[in-house]
A and B are shown apart, each in its own frame.
Chain A
Amino acid sequence: MMKKILCLLALSYMSATCIADADLSPDAYDVLLKNKDEFIVHDGCNYPKSGLGQEKVKLGQAFYNIFDSFMTMHQDMLILKECSSQNEHGWQCSITFNDYYRETKEEGPSPYSIIFSVDTSLNLDHDLLLICM
């Protein structure tokens, strides 16, 4: 539970940092929260133990199931988030999980990302799937 809280705090801290940097791109976690109750078709997101099947799920449900899986399976973890502009087509956002090795202060070799797209109003773009890779 403590590890989960620390990770959520890290997400909140990163949000604050993005705002402080006056970065014009939206914060991926904020975008995810805004759309968490939207149903989305996902591709490749049936992460082991996440409970996700092949059917439509809510965006927030997909994220939290994968997040929970990482919390139980990994030790130290980095969570990276980003949104990149698609010009008049809005934004592509992603949240990436990766191992972090304290001894070497290095990232792990196998980052895992969930990727989704939103329009310029930050509403989910249902023409593009939620991709996990």
Chain B
Amino acid sequence: MKTSLVPINLDTIVGDHISTLCPHSIASKDSKNHCAHFVSHVLEYNVGSTSCKNLTWNDKQLDSNGASIRVDDLFNSSLSSLKGDWVDKPKSLTECLIYVTQESNISRNSTSLRMGSSDIKHVGIFTNGRVYHYGNTKNEITCDLPDQFVKKFTRSYGRNSKKVSFFYSWFL
């Protein structure tokens, strides 16, 4: 039996608020974007220059671990050889991160793939054949089948005929 690299049974936290995972002040703010924040607490990522722990003086004093809060920090921390377009994801890769953004927010060349800092970006965890991610509209952890996820964000991000792109990366 294959062991999951995800340390939490995500099915048990679907519907939960981000504050069940994060002790810092940003967790109480529903107006903020918590998708990368959710992924980073579950998988214990603290990459990039900013985390949920260093946003305020009070949070810095807590004896707790910070987690990354930006999608592009996660994407750009992944080695280029370990990420690519979602349609090219190896079938054998049954657990990974899934990202979505507009193609205009991606820089591609032969050796690298980088995501910019546009607001139009989202990330989730692909495992158990489903995508677990944080819904910033309903402010809760949610779960979609991959096809539903692609359809949902193609609709949200593809307004005005914008090209929407989906990516995978191995866990960091």
Contacts and interface: CB of A to CB of B under 8 A. Distances in A.
A and B associate in one complex: yes
Interface of A: 43-48, 70, 75, 80, 82, 84, 86-87, 89, 92, 94, 96-98, 106-113, 115, 117, 125, 127-129, 131-133
Contacts of A94: 29, 31-32
A44 B136 contact: no
Contacts of B118: 47-48
Interface residues of B, number: 34
A131 to B, nearest CB: 6
Contacts of B154: none
Determine chain B's interface SS by DSSP, over half rule. Answer: loop
B29 to A, nearest CB: 7
A44 to B, nearest CB: 6
Contact of A96 (B31, B70, B105): B31
Given A86-B58, A109-B137, A111-B119, 16 more contacts: A43-B50, A46-B117, A47-B117, A75-B159, A75-B160, A80-B31, A82-B29, A89-B57, A89-B58, A94-B31, A96-B32, A110-B121, A113-B31, A128-B56, A131-B50, A133-B50
B52 to A, nearest CB: 10
Interface in B125-161: 135-137, 153, 156, 159-160
Contacts, number: 92
Contacts of A127: 57
B165 interface: no
Interface in B110-125: 116-122
B33 A110 contact: yes
Nearest to A129: B50
A96 B69 CA distance: 15
Contact of B55 (A45, A82, A92, A110): A92
B32 A86 contact: no
Given A108-B137, A111-B136, A133-B70, A43 B49 contact: yes
9 tightest CB-CB pairs across the interface, nearest first?
A112-B119, A89-B57, A96-B31, A80-B31, A111-B33, A92-B56, A133-B69, A48-B118, A110-B119
15 contacts: A44-B48, A44-B117, A47-B119, A48-B105, A84-B29, A94-B32, A98-B31, A107-B136, A108-B156, A110-B120, A110-B122, A110-B156, A111-B32, A112-B119, A133-B50
